[in-house]
């Protein structure tokens, strides 16, 4: 069976105020073409298809269109909710959902896997939505029992117990689990929302053993946790970068070939291929003096850029010069190097002359005493303000 694993689309997200809708639409066009070309049997999406609990209409329309086109390829689509999605809104109307599309967004759904057959028999696809401990600890507790411990480990362990119990009723069936969570050993970036609950935000890898393939969502970097889990386990990562901490990621989707069941209860053979997703524009961070950064405009003029400027004194018209050279500049950080250490922020005395305060502030910001021309500008501005105040 051929399975395509992708997650964390975050439809509706922006990148430092840049609207990513067109780029997300381009990714989905590419994805549909890939599913068709590779004759994919099942597409699994473990959470965070939306970036917020109440998505914009444009994002809802984009998802609806993508699911319709994926289903039209003949592939089965299995989708769970993440910590950004609202499980209630994402799962609304799932009973009326088009054939071939399955939304597994609640705790009861954990015990109702999607069953797909190939020439080797049955494959069960279990969906673990994001399990908010404060809510799931009660839902996953046995009838009449006390709520589970308030941790991701406790609720995930209980959910996997239900998965294994259900799978045991299907002898010879292979199991694929979609889980939106932070597995210990995974590498995070700046753009994932913190899952901390009482200081416990991760799930030990050993909790997830015994599955033929574990399709993980939440972390935005593609990574293989097979060695830690003891079974094939991957994060597909997000298809686009959502912060500069992801600038070195190789964005991907995963194509999984799930083989026949192993003999004597052994797991099936699994082969995983990484396929690079289309990148609309590179993310680049440049650090150096303004002159050093501007000298690299030919190489990085088409990139989304974060510029870290290190001149000892803040260059005049810094933003204007950077934006002229780098039209896709997103962030500018001024981090002066070589400036003499100062005692701290100047203290303003009540009796101090306002112009003196202004000069001291300019010196504090730029790292050098104001020039005569700069002092004259401040004096003219101050005088003009005083005259308007006196006239009123």
156: domain CATH number is 3.60.21.10
- Strands 14-15 and 18-19, by their bridges, are antiparallel
- Structurally, the chain folds into a number of domains equal to 3
Per-residue pLDDT at 331 exceeds 90: yes
pLDDT digits (tens, 9 = 90+) for 103-142: 998 888 899 999 999 999 999 999 998 888 888 888 888 7
Per-residue pLDDT at 340 exceeds 80: no
CA angle 176, 200, 224 (to 5 degrees): 35
Looking at the structure, tell me whether residues 103 and 152 fall in a common domain: yes
pLDDT band at 352 (very low <50, low <70, confident <90, very high): confident
CA-to-CA distance for 370 and 263, rounded, in angstroms? Answer: 80
Query: Which tokens hold the place of 110?
Result: 């954990």
- Strands 2-5 and 42-46, by their bridges, are parallel
Looking at the structure, tell me whether residues 163 and 239 fall in a common domain: yes
Q: Whole domain around residue 295: which residue ranges?
A: 282-337
Looking at the structure, tell me whether residues 155 and 95 fall in a common domain: yes
Per-residue pLDDT at 199 exceeds 60: no
Looking at the structure, tell me whether residues 269 and 307 fall in a common domain: no
Average model confidence (pLDDT) across the chain: 88
Per-residue pLDDT at 197 exceeds 50: no
Domain boundary pick from 276, 305, 322: 276
CA-to-CA distance for 250 and 2, rounded, in angstroms? Answer: 22
3-state helix, strand, coil in the chain (%, to 5): 35, 25, 45
Q: What is the pLDDT of residue 364?
A: 75
Looking at the structure, tell me whether residues 376 and 305 fall in a common domain: no
Looking at the structure, tell me whether residues 44 and 102 fall in a common domain: yes
Per-residue pLDDT at 150 exceeds 90: no
CA-to-CA distance for 106 and 104, rounded, in angstroms? Answer: 6
Looking at the structure, tell me whether residues 8 and 70 fall in a common domain: yes
pLDDT band at 99 (very low <50, low <70, confident <90, very high): confident
pLDDT digits (tens, 9 = 90+) for 217-267: 999 999 999 999 999 999 999 999 999 999 999 999 999 999 998 877 688
């Amino acid at each position: 069976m051929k399975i395509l694993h992708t997650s964390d689309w975050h439809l509706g997200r922006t990148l430092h105020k840049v609207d990513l809708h067109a780029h997300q639409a381009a990714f989905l066009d590419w994805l549909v073409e890939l599913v068709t070309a590779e004759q994919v049997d099942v597409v699994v999406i473990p959470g965070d298809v939306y970036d917020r609990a109440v998505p914009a209409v444009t994002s809802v329309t984009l998802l609806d269109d993508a699911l319709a086109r994926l289903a039209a390829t003949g592939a089965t689509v299995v989708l769970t909710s993440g910590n950004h999605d609202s499980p209630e809104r994402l799962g609304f109307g799932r009973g009326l959902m088009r054939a071939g599309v399955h939304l597994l967004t609640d705790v009861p759904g954990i015990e109702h896997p999607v069953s797909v057959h190939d020439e080797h028999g049955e494959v069960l696809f279990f969906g673990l939505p994001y399990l908010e401990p404060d809510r799931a600890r009660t839902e996953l507790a046995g009838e009449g029992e006390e709520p589970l411990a308030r941790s991701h480990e406790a609720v995930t362990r209980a959910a996997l117990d239900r998965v294994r119990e259900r799978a045991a009723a299907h002898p010879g069936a292979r199991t694929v689990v979609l889980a939106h969570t932070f597995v210990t050993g995974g590498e995070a970036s700046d753009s994932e929302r913190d899952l901390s609950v009482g200081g416990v935000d991760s799930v030990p890898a050993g909790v997830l053993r015994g599955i033929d393939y574990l399709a993980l969502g939440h972390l935005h970097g593609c990574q293989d946790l097979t060695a830690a889990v003891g079974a094939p386990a991957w994060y597909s990562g997000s298809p686009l970068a959502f912060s500069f901490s992801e600038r070195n990621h190789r964005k991907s989707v995963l194509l999984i070939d799930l083989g026949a069941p192993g003999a004597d209860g052994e797991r099936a053979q699994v082969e995983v291929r990484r396929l690079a997703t289309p990148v609309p524009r590179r993310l680049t961070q440049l650090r150096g003096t303004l002159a050093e950064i501007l000298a690299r405009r030919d190489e990085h003029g088409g990139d989304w850029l974060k510029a870290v400027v290190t001149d000892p004194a803040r260059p005049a018209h810094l933003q204007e010069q950077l934006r002229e050279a780098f039209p896709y500049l997103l962030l500018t950080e001024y981090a002066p190097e070589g400036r003499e250490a100062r005692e701290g922020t100047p203290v303003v005395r009540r009796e101090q002359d306002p112009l003196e305060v202004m000069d001291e502030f300019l010196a504090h910001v730029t790292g050098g005493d104001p020039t005569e021309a700069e002092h004259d500008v401040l004096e003219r501005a101050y005088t003009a303000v005083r005259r308007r105040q006196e006239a009123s």
